[in-house]
Structure 1
């Protein structure tokens, strides 16, 4: 949690930074890299001490928070009624004229301003290098996001004046920009210390992102022929496994496991205090008592924009380690059937039959609604009515689980993965929930057809185990905001063409949604008038059945089914999606920026 002293320091710095930013940031004009004006606070008046360095760098702090649980609306993990970018792109007419967000350099300007002036402070070399390392870590994150969005972008590692020729230069190559990112991360990993306040990045957090980006870039290069960089992929995959192994060998972190497989995983996402949790390398602390609330329950749980997709449900293994999609007739399993004997992480991520919502005492009956899947997420949801608890959940920014998955995936991509590697990584995560261990030879001998169909580019002797590691990553990191980036680096954008589906219903009639064998809802045809409560049917428990009018998406009904009254999966939308490769792995530079700087050219077919 933020201390009172630190909050005062932050307030002082924010006021200072606000004064500077009046002059610094002119979001989309041609002076975005200007030197600081003479009327602002000159750097020699501020960068005098270690405290000044700390205040400035603390002012640059940005951490993913509770809304990260909603980022997967961009992926195949969730259905959404929201106007998310990738859905709009696939169903519309995208161009540089209507995709105008993302090309913002103000944050880079602030980072480079610090790096240019930090050396003049009266502090030890170690202190200066620590804060420079944090700033370069932030610059690496900034550029990593730019590369993921645009690929080739101008690289600026110093401040510019209006007369500098580089102010209007064109794109630098992806290779050169990524070299700069890796140099920044290497410097930060060598100079940032481990002794930092809770909620701020230290050396281990830097290393987690270092490994994450190296894995991203290595796999992106491997699976994207349009870059012609496949021959350099292994360099980044090797670095990813190397840095992940350093973290693993440090002995500083461990998978959170108290021997309670039904709750340990869930605890990471509904905790009021993650400080001291051996799995959490960096967290974002929330406290409703300090006007910093984490309450996003209305976004995560319910029928507001997002709902989990059936494809995610089907990705979880059975409790015995076999594939759910190997079961005969799985495509027509009911809600209750598909939650039976599954990987416990499914129950700890999504609402399951029999789940009880506080303050109720009986099982929750999922509310069915138009354009929603019927599934509900409770990972990151605080099942309480206590307002302080609602606002006090900490968010795990970096988990040791990600490091283990990075290590296993990088080794598998390199073709050097061993059973010992799996036992030291993926199988620690499976052990937490008492799932059978992933066996290297068995996975490679019989790759899962369900997974092979998703990722046809995966091949070679390690194909089977690599597919299982990808499944493990999707399951372990579900709805934490990783899935879209994963699909992009896998070259699996075509999966986003599949419109998310919801629960399966065989047709009209009564259905049990709580798992007690007693019907809870009644689906009626679109021409039926839903009766008043006095005339509704009552189930064996003496409770009124919940009625829903059923039809297709064009009908004036409550529940959309694939085949209307004849049943099928719940329909979330019907607009055809088209993911154009390789174009849609990238975004155009907004047309306004091209007008300001004609040296910037569109690539990959964007106009």
Structure 2
């Protein structure tokens, strides 16, 4: 403990001699008894808890580098996204046995409990400051427990500082409902008592709005888990979610519309903007600064290291611009080439998957280009904006044609790994994929990129009003109160920014999407679709499909890529099962991974909860394992 305090506390203590030193803690040493005196002492000690937002245990965590190990991972596990090299371990039952780790970690909880144990003791804090630091401690304690419960269900509820001899350190897991009710109580206390200390803490720190955003997320998650997993007593969570979401919606009435002039620019720029402190609707964000704290998210997506793709069945979830599904929209142009697949679709798709194009590269020069004679080749270049830069960094957000980290031109998309690009050109080594649908949420032209170096400074959102709007829409349906007015307050604000026609609730019936899961109400299906699209690539997917108890529907799908002629794909990417039954073997959807059900695999219900690490049970036999492991 002493070494942590020495690292964290920056105030220097003046050495002094005193003949009563045997009766007092040494003034020259920082120990727990004298380290919590000033406001800044508490601030410095709790500061490492902000690392929760980049701790990749949490699916929505942010990454300073490879986002496939952070916020993309939750959507990969959900089956929304896929990777270039690995099939879904939940679909094929290859989840490894957990001997240690697996998210069973109480280090943050110990740190927070140490701080909380000193808040009300002898120190220089005013009562308002005591309440503030207790509220901040309750926030972080609750935020980490949200993840523990989300993974394991029943967990030990620890609010005291434990050591090796504490009997509570070797007790059983507490009931999930007791733990979540305690989390709710603490978050509500924090909401009511957290102070306005922006001048002392900085603007981008935990405040009442951040607590309310966590409440909105937690109460929807727990309420729907209780409902769909048969635990009961969920209505109070729905009421809290609706209450706190309405408060935030009033505080943040405006959505960010962006600066780059592209369709849905505000949506795309949320992950590619240098200063989110100036962006409306952002409640809390991860701040990056040149020469101080950098990331390389953008760099990775400009290289061959990025492995995140989208399977065809998720592409098919994107609506057309008229707000209708691909099954019913007159705007849908089919999927027999990528130009058709992207045409007239929800523009959020263009900011998530790199759109198709083709240009002519300058002869012997990878940094110059010109348009081809085919007007279709430039359709999405004109939509996204022309990238005229030949340098690194360039200018703008998701401009086309794309470049690699060194500003070398990518002359065509799709760029199929181990395959053949359009019109017989060999695939480039960078920005390659198997499916044709390359996910590039963190991509922009303006950030500096250098091989194997973190130089990117774009901020990343932690809490934003868009999630709250989706929480509100969903919880109002769960309360039986969703109607056109609620749709206009929530989903249609997101659609208006995206450039998609509004949801008309009265038009949504059983035939609105004939490809939906028919066990889900048609309106609820559309609310969930909107959540899926708006939050794509932000890590919510696996938590969502588990709380809805619908993991098997999303995860047991065979993952296929774009439709293509066999002559343009390397044989290793082709399989006799990839074509439609009415089509010849000469064309079809690219084979990515086998059908898990055909292979005798598929989602196991034990995966709804994670395995308690076996080493923890050895250390504490009072812990019981989750069912099925």
Q: TM-score range by the shorter chain?
A: 0.7 to 0.9
- Consecutive unaligned residues of structure 1, counting only runs of 5 or more, are 1-10, 19-38, 509-522, 524-547
Q: Does 1:497 align with 2:556?
A: yes
Task: Work out whether residues 559 and 595 of structure 2, in 8 Å CA contact, stay in contact via their aligned partners in 1.
Answer: no
Q: Secondary structure at the match of 2:33?
A: helix
Match of 2:77 among 71, 74, 83: 74
Q: What is the CA-CA distance between 1:224 and the residue it aligns to?
A: 1.5
- Consecutive unaligned residues of structure 2, counting only runs of 5 or more, are 11-27, 54-60, 358-399, 419-432
Q: What is the CA-CA distance between 1:575 and the residue it aligns to?
A: 7.3
Q: Does 1:65 align with 2:62?
A: yes
TM-score, normalised on structure 2? 0.76
Q: What is the CA-CA distance between 1:549 and the residue it aligns to?
A: 2.8
Q: What is the CA-CA distance between 1:296 and the residue it aligns to?
A: 4.5
Q: What is the CA-CA distance between 1:351 and the residue it aligns to?
A: 0.7
Q: Secondary structure at the match of 1:147?
A: helix
Q: What is the CA-CA distance between 1:505 and the residue it aligns to?
A: 1.0
Task: Work out whether residues 574 and 590 of structure 2, in 8 Å CA contact, stay in contact via their aligned partners in 1.
Answer: no
Partner of 2:439: 377
| Shift in alpha-carbon separation, 1:45–1:493, aligned structure 2, 3 A | same
1:449-468 deviation line (CA, Å, top 9, x unaligned): 22334xx2x2xxxx322211
| Shift in alpha-carbon separation, 1:318–1:582, aligned structure 2, 3 A | same
Write the mapping of 1:68-107 to structure 2, written as runs, cut at 5 A: 68-71=70-73, 72-81=75-84, 87-92=88-93, 94=95, 96=97, 100-107=101-108
1:243-281 deviation line (CA, Å, top 9, x unaligned): 10111123x452112695442221212111111211111
Partner of 1:220: 225
| Shift in alpha-carbon separation, 1:189–1:97, aligned structure 2, 3 A | closer
Partner of 2:210: 205
Q: Secondary structure at the match of 1:396?
A: strand
Task: Work out whether residues 297 and 382 of structure 1, in 8 Å CA contact, stay in contact via their aligned partners in 2.
Answer: no
Q: What is the CA-CA distance between 1:582 and the residue it aligns to?
A: 2.8
Partner of 1:602: 625
1:419-444 deviation line (CA, Å, top 9, x unaligned): 22111111111111221111222225
CA distance in 2, matches of 1:40, 1:152: 40
Partner of 1:241: 242
Q: Secondary structure at the match of 1:61?
A: helix
Task: Work out whether residues 258 and 265 of structure 2, in 8 Å CA contact, stay in contact via their aligned partners in 1.
Answer: no
CA distance in 2, matches of 1:83, 1:41: 49
Partner of 1:338: 341
Task: Work out whether residues 9 and 41 of structure 2, in 8 Å CA contact, stay in contact via their aligned partners in 1.
Answer: no
Task: Work out whether residues 430 and 436 of structure 1, in 8 Å CA contact, stay in contact via their aligned partners in 2.
Answer: yes
| Shift in alpha-carbon separation, 1:193–1:276, aligned structure 2, 3 A | farther
Q: Secondary structure at the match of 1:187?
A: helix
More helix per residue: 1
CA distance in 2, matches of 1:317, 1:554: 29
Q: What is the CA-CA distance between 1:211 and the residue it aligns to?
A: 0.7
Q: Does 1:567 align with 2:612?
A: no
Partner of 1:418: 483
1:126-182 deviation line (CA, Å, top 9, x unaligned): 111111111111111111111111101111111124443322111111110101111
Partner of 2:255: 255
| Shift in alpha-carbon separation, 1:291–1:175, aligned structure 2, 3 A | closer
Task: Work out whether residues 155 and 176 of structure 2, in 8 Å CA contact, stay in contact via their aligned partners in 1.
Answer: yes
Q: What is the CA-CA distance between 1:236 and the residue it aligns to?
A: 1.0
CA distance in 2, matches of 1:130, 1:320: 48
| Shift in alpha-carbon separation, 1:246–1:506, aligned structure 2, 3 A | same
CA distance in 2, matches of 1:79, 1:357: 22
Equivalences, count? 520
1:339-388 deviation line (CA, Å, top 9, x unaligned): 01011111122111234114467853322025821211222112347339
Partner of 1:326: 328
| Shift in alpha-carbon separation, 1:82–1:236, aligned structure 2, 3 A | farther
The more displaced of 324-333 and 160-169 is: 324-333
| Shift in alpha-carbon separation, 1:74–1:93, aligned structure 2, 3 A | closer
CA distance in 1, matches of 2:339, 2:279: 34
Partner of 2:533: 475
Partner of 2:41: 52
| Shift in alpha-carbon separation, 1:40–1:488, aligned structure 2, 3 A | farther
Match of 1:154 among 153, 156, 175: 156
Match of 2:289 among 287, 290, 298: 287
Q: What is the CA-CA distance between 1:201 and the residue it aligns to?
A: 2.1
CA distance in 2, matches of 1:204, 1:361: 43
Q: Secondary structure at the match of 2:621?
A: coil
Write the mapping of 1:172-571 to structure 2, written as runs, cut at 5 A: 172-194=174-196, 195=198, 196-225=201-230, 229=231, 231-250=232-251, 252-257=252-257, 260=261, 261-299=263-301, 302=304, 304-326=306-328, 332-354=335-357, 355-358=400-403, 359=407, 364-369=412-417, 372-384=434-446, 386-387=448-449, 391-444=456-509, 446-453=511-518, 456=519, 458=520, 463-494=521-552, 495-508=554-567, 523=568, 548-552=569-573, 566-571=586-591
The more displaced of 381-390 and 399-408 is: 381-390
Task: Work out whether residues 93 and 603 of structure 2, in 8 Å CA contact, stay in contact via their aligned partners in 1.
Answer: no
TM-score, normalised on structure 1? 0.79
1:464-496 deviation line (CA, Å, top 9, x unaligned): 222111111111111111111111111111021
The more displaced of 299-308 and 475-484 is: 299-308
Task: Work out whether residues 82 and 308 of structure 2, in 8 Å CA contact, stay in contact via their aligned partners in 1.
Answer: yes
The more displaced of 592-601 and 54-63 is: 54-63
| Shift in alpha-carbon separation, 1:591–1:421, aligned structure 2, 3 A | same
Task: Work out whether residues 50 and 127 of structure 1, in 8 Å CA contact, stay in contact via their aligned partners in 2.
Answer: yes
| Shift in alpha-carbon separation, 1:97–1:44, aligned structure 2, 3 A | closer
CA distance in 2, matches of 1:450, 1:211: 30
Task: Work out whether residues 73 and 79 of structure 1, in 8 Å CA contact, stay in contact via their aligned partners in 2.
Answer: yes
CA distance in 2, matches of 1:82, 1:485: 23
Q: CA RMSD in A?
A: 3.1
CA distance in 2, matches of 1:135, 1:99: 27
